[in-house]
Structure 1
Amino acid sequence: MEPVNLFDLATRQSQWLAVRQTAIAGNVANANTPGYLAHDVEPFERVLERTTVSLNATQQGHLGFGASEAAFRTRAQEFDGAVMPSKNTVVMETELMKAGEVRRAFELNTAIVKAFHGMLLAVSKG
């Protein structure tokens, strides 16, 4: 089992959340566009499954902790509801709920990083 760097993991999740928020904003912006299919990003769990964590030497004598870049893939959302006559699949209520999930995830991510940073400071100060 490989060690996990919390700051690297938090950065990856923040990047993923930013991409998801962009997809949600695009859906909201195109809510009245005929034929527009709502998009979402793949779940963060799948991104983590594809990510390999490894040590990278950045300079001779130094070791850095890095992860391979995984692209966050957007895809058309699966839609089970009734399609509008314009063939648009954006449901505003769903998009607003997803935006709330992203906001809560950003807040949790920030709180965890802040707590971990505080622990590191406490340990380093002695």
Structure 2
Amino acid sequence: MLERLETIRMARAMTAHAAERTKIIAGNVANADTPGFRARDLEPFARAYRGGADALRATRAGHVTSGAEGFSARITEDEGERAPNGNYVSLEEEMVKTAEAKRAHELSIAVYRSSLSMLRTAIGRKG
């Protein structure tokens, strides 16, 4: 039943996007000293979610998809400044991205909780 509600689907997709972005950021940080490594990121959630104007579909193996219906995102390479060892990872930028991903995850949880609260109210339960 809950899977049919758009807000629940969106919250699930947003959670999946934040989790996948966190994994990619962790990979960037892990490769911060790897010569020639290019930092990666996910396209913004608004573009990746099916309601966005530029909605994406997983049409090839290079796309990242989640179990959440209506969500797929493409991994992009960041165009940053090149370090002396030839890699493109800025730890400061990765820290900012981590904070953004955390904020997106917290927002998805808030949307989910709010949706459940509205459902409880609609069926006459408190809590």
The verdict on a shared fold, with TM-score over 0.5 as the criterion, is yes
What CA deviation, in whole Å up to 9, does each residue of 1:16-62 have, x standing for no partner?
1111111100000000111100000111121123269xxxxxxxxxx
Distance 1:71 1:118 in 2: 28
Mark the runs of 5 or more structure 1 residues left unpaired by the alignment.
53-65
1:18 aligns with 2:43: no
Runs of 4+ in 1 over 3 A off after TM superposition: none
Structure 2 counterpart of 1:75, one-letter code? T
Aligned to 2:31: 30
**Structure 2 segments unaligned to the other structure (5+ residues):** 58-67
Tell me the SS of whatever aligns to 1:73. strand
- Per the alignment, do residues 89 and 51 of structure 1 end up closer, same or farther by CA in structure 2, a change over 3 Å counting? closer
SS at match of 2:123: helix
The equivalent residue for 2:98 is: 99
Distance 2:31 2:56 in 1: 32
With normalisation by structure 2, the TM-score equals 0.76
Larger mean CA deviation between 28-37 and 109-118 belongs to 109-118
Cα separation, 2, equivalents of 1:10 and 1:112: 6
Report if aligned partners of 2:28, 2:39 keep a CA contact under 8 Å in 1: yes
1:21/1:102 contact within 8 Å kept: yes
**Match for residue 57 of structure 1?**
none
Q: Which residue of 2 aligns with 1:112?
A: 111
Root-mean-square deviation (Å): 2.2
Per-residue deviation at 1:84?
1.5
Paired residue total: 108
CA shift for structure 1 position 109: 1.4
State the alpha-carbon separation in 2 of the partners of residues 29 and 99 from structure 1: 14
Q: CA deviation at 1:13?
A: 0.9
